[in-house]
Amino acid sequence: MLCPWGAVFGWRFARRPRNIWSNWSTPLSMELKLRERSSMTDARSWGLALVLCLSAACSTRIPPPPGAGGAEIYRLQNCANCHGGSGEGNTLGPALKNLNKDWNLPDLVSFLADPGPFLAKNGRLATLRKAYPAAMSRYDNLDADQLGELARWLLEL
């Protein structure tokens, strides 16, 4: 008895012979059980897909028109997706209120242009990066004047 069952279904089924289809009485219940089992393993895949979609949403940016103010640049660059409509923060990005306590204008402009060096040398920013799933991306589609307008507006929040 051990040999045929063990060869077909493995050692686990060979030690405890039973009908593996007994809980699946109809094709519909069989499909539901399979979906239930696969959804448990797909949870991580869905989570990864969500993070990728959200990061893509945060990085899709419309170039602002010349002379746009900081609030308009904030809106067009989709900052609200991660930081909230008025900079209050959400589960994807930190609040942007009271940035003037930790930032000055030149440093904030440099950070917006390329966050990488600041994340490497600033422990507070590195901690924030670990706390939020969406990574702060570069604003390489903005010129220096637009970065300045955005930074001035953020410092006034």
Q: List the domains of the chain with CATH numbers.
A: 50-156 (1.10.760.10)
pLDDT of residue 105: 97
Question: In the block, which residue shows the tokens 């009271």?
Answer: 98
pLDDT tens, residue by residue, 115-128: 989 888 999 988 88
For the ranges 6-10, 27-31, 141-145, the lowest mean pLDDT is seen at: 6-10
Average pLDDT over residues 31-59: 61
Whether pTM > 0.75 for this model: the answer is no
Which band of pLDDT confidence, cut at 50, 70 and 90, is reported for residue 1? very low
Which band of pLDDT confidence, cut at 50, 70 and 90, is reported for residue 134? confident
pLDDT tens, residue by residue, 52-102: 666 655 556 778 888 899 999 999 998 998 899 999 999 889 999 999 999
Task: Print burial letters for 106-139: b (CB count within 10 Å at least 16), e (below 16).
Answer: eebbebbeebeebbeebeebeeebeebebebeeb
**C-alpha angle 97-95-52 in degrees, rounded to nearest 5:** 150
pLDDT of residue 19: 52
Return all residues near 71 (Cβ < 8 A) that are at least 6 apart. Answer: 153
